[in-house]
Amino acid sequence: MSQASLLHRPVVRSVQSAIPTAVNAAESAAVLSVAPAAVAVSDADTVIRAKGVSVFYGAHEAIKAISVTMPRNNVIALIGPSGCGKSTFLRSINRLNDLIPGCRMTGELLIEGQNIYDPKIDLVALRRRVGLVFQKPNPFPKTIYENIAYGPRLQGLNGRAQLDELVEHCLRKAALWEEVKDRLTSSALGLSGGQQQRLCIARALATKPDVLLMDEPASALDPIATGKIEDLIQELKSSYTIVIVTHNMQQAARVSDRTAFFYMGTMVEYDRTDIMFTNPTNKQTEDYVTGRFG
């Protein structure tokens, strides 16, 4: 997707893309210097970059000056005890917090170098590009086919053959096609919980996102359905950058390339997942990943 595609008027480039490269490099150096060396990510590989992101609900600062770089085609797990700000941070990546009265954000959040809090950003385009999958599967009370076709149709895709092709493509990508190809006109609500969650992932894929955000996507599912979602995440990362909140340490260790540990609104540590689980720098991280937190 082009740099300007989130803007109403393509001529008005984001501040970031207008800055000369030398300044970008200096800026990146400043950001990277606060992150552990092991997770330094080059500009070209960075999809999501947070710079000192704080989010407030009224006077309460729910997340505090989070700076992080998330690379392309990686799965990044956000872990930490309830209430530490994982969902708040996740929602800030597609500006869903904007919908919460009294919620405000400071700092900068860039996707592909573009500040998504720039007033010129087209929010509809942003949310197409940054898909979100919730804990509880939430298919529309429509047919399986319509769940996928609905968004693209709103975007102006109307040809029956094109829609058919897209529906099949997304269902295949979400590893659901074989299970539902003979019942596309049945209600999505008749699917099992695990199938509904894969349908919600297929629906998110239909708007051709670059980033998928998942907030505890398997915590309402049985172990077999959970395994299918984990396999799917592994498949999808070749095409997308995925940020997943999980309470399941084994899951974080299995599916993610990088892990960020949040505690009381701060990001305590961020590193390669193997390091976070075997040799973390911070004592709190170690206590948390080994289940000794308290």
Contact residues for Mg ion, defined by CB under 5 A: 87
Contact 259, 36 (CB under 8 A): no
| Options 16, 67, 88, 143; binder of ligand ADP; rule CB under 6 A | 88
Q: Which residues in 42-81 contact ligand ADP (CB under 6 A)?
A: 57, 62, 80
Task: List the single partner that 57 binds among Mg ion, ligand ADP, none, CB under 5 to 8 Å by kind.
Answer: ligand ADP
Contact 126, 92 (CB under 8 A): no
| Options 16, 54, 87, 195; binder of ligand ADP; rule CB under 6 A | 87
Distance CA 57, CA 21 (A): 36
Q: Which residues in 205-264 contact ligand ADP (CB under 6 A)?
A: none
Candidate segments 84-92, 145-153, 236-244, 248-256, binder of ligand ADP by CB under 6 A: 84-92
Q: Which residues in 99-138 contact ligand ADP (CB under 6 A)?
A: 100
Kindly state the smallest distance separating residue 276's Cβ from ligand ADP, in Å.
17
Distance CA 73, CA 70 (A): 9
| Options 51, 86, 203, 237; binder of ligand ADP; rule CB under 6 A | 86
Kindly state the smallest distance separating residue 63's Cβ from ligand ADP, in Å.
7
Q: Which is nearer to Mg ion, 78 or 148 (CB)?
A: 78
Task: List the single partner that 285 binds among Mg ion, ligand ADP, none, CB under 5 to 8 Å by kind.
Answer: none
Phi then psi for residue 215, to 5 deg, are -100, 100
Candidate segments 12-20, 82-90, 199-207, 232-240, binder of ligand ADP by CB under 6 A: 82-90
Residue 84 touching ligand ADP (CB under 6 A): yes
Q: Which is nearer to ligand ADP, 145 or 288 (CB)?
A: 288
Kindly state the smallest distance separating residue 78's Cβ from Mg ion, in Å.
9
| Options 8, 83, 136, 250; binder of ligand ADP; rule CB under 6 A | 83
Contact 109, 50 (CB under 8 A): yes
Distance CA 294, CA 291 (A): 9
| Options 85, 113, 131, 194; binder of ligand ADP; rule CB under 6 A | 85
Distance CA 3, CA 283 (A): 40
Q: Which is nearer to ligand ADP, 151 or 265 (CB)?
A: 265
Contact 44, 163 (CB under 8 A): no
Q: How wide is the angle at C-alpha 226 spanned by C-alphas 223 and 232, nearest 5°?
A: 145
Instruction: Work out the burial of residue 271: count CB atoms within 10 Å of its CB; fewer than 13 is exposed, 13-18 middle, 19 or more buried.
Output: buried
Distance CA 117, CA 233 (A): 28
Tokens matching residue 194: 């695990």
Mapped to the 3 state alphabet, what secondary structure does 171-237 carry?
A: HHHCCCHHHHCCCCCCEHHHCCHHHHHHHHHHHHHCCCCCEEEEECCCCCCCHHHHHHHHHHHHHHC
Kindly state the smallest distance separating residue 268's Cβ from ligand ADP, in Å.
13
Task: List the single partner that 83 binds among ligand ADP, Mg ion, none, CB under 5 to 8 Å by kind.
Answer: ligand ADP
**Residues of the shown chain interacting with ligand ADP in the complex, contacts defined by CB under 6 A:** 57, 62, 80, 82-88, 100
